[in-house]
Amino acid sequence: MATTTPQRPKRSPGRPAKGRGDQRERLVDVALALFSRNGVAETPLSAIARRARVTPALMHYYFGNREHLLDALMDERIAPLVVKVGMQLAAAGSEPFALVRAFVTTMMTLFAENPWLPPLWVREVLTEGGLLRERLLKRVAPQIAPALARRFAEAKAEGALNPGLDPKLTVVSLIGLTLFPLAAQSIWRRLLDADDIDTQTLINHTLALLGSGLGPVAPERNPP
C-alpha cells in the first residue's frame, strides 16, 4: 500500500514561521547591544538585521521603522525595570535611609543585570540630542523621580532628613551615585586595578557613603 508524506501546513506569505516566538526578543537584544555600543543614530535597522543574521524584511515586519523599535525598547525593556524600582520604593516605607537603601540596591542590581542600560542611558538620555531622552522624560521618569523627591521633602518637613539636603538634589545625587559607577566601570576598574569589586561591594560602599549624610544633624552643644 502506497504511503504519502504528510505535507507541512502552509503559512501566510511574509510572516515568520511558527515556533520562532523568541525571534523578536533576539532582535531586541541585538538592537540594545548595538545601540549601547554605537548609539541609536549610528545603527540603522539594516545593521541590526546583519548582526542578527536575518533579512531587513523581517526587521520591518516586527518593528516597521526605527521609531517603533525605540518605542518597543522603552515599553518592553526599560519601563519594566522602572516598575521594579517603583515597587521596591513603595515597599520601603517613608524613612529616608530605607528609601535610599531600596533605591541604591535596586538600581545597582538592575544596572549590573542589564549591562546595556548604563551606556545606553549615557548615550541616548544624558547626551544632548539623545534619541531616548524625550521618551524617558514623558513616559518613564515621572514614575520615579518626582515621587521620590516628594517623599524626601515630606521627611525633611518632619525633621527626619538632614536639613542641609535639598530633596530634589538628593534624587539627582542618588541617580549619579548608582548610574555613574556602572557606566564608567571600564575606566575606574582599569585605573584602580579594581576588577575584584563586585556589585554587592558597590552597593555596600554607596550605602555607607550616604548613610552618614542623611540623618538629622545633631544639635550643637553650648560650650561649657
In whole angstroms, give the CA distance from residue 73 to residue 117.
11
Q: Are 162 and 171 in contact (CB under 8 A)?
A: no
Q: Are 163 and 156 in contact (CB under 8 A)?
A: yes
Cell numbers for 198, please give them.
Answer: 563586585
Minimal CA–CA distance to 147: which of 179, 99, 211?
99
In whole angstroms, give the CA distance from residue 114 to residue 173.
21
Which domains are present in the chain? 74-211 (1.10.357.10)
In this structure, which amino acid lies at residue 214?
L
Q: What is the dihedral of CA 52, 55, 60, 63, to 10 degrees?
A: -20
In whole angstroms, give the CA distance from residue 43 to residue 61.
18
Q: How many CB atoms are located within 10 Å of the residue 43 CB?
A: 20
In whole angstroms, give the CA distance from residue 91 to residue 112.
22
Output the pLDDT for position 218: 56
In whole angstroms, give the CA distance from residue 84 to residue 52.
29
Per-residue pLDDT of the chain (224 residues; tens, 9 = 90+): 444 444 444 433 444 444 455 899 999 999 999 999 999 999 999 999 999 999 999 999 999 999 999 999 999 999 999 999 999 999 999 999 999 999 999 999 999 999 999 999 999 999 888 999 999 888 877 889 999 999 999 999 999 999 999 999 999 999 999 999 999 999 999 999 999 999 999 999 999 999 875 555 555 555 55
Output the pLDDT for position 222: 55
Q: Are 96 and 214 in contact (CB under 8 A)?
A: yes
DSSP structure class, residue 204: H
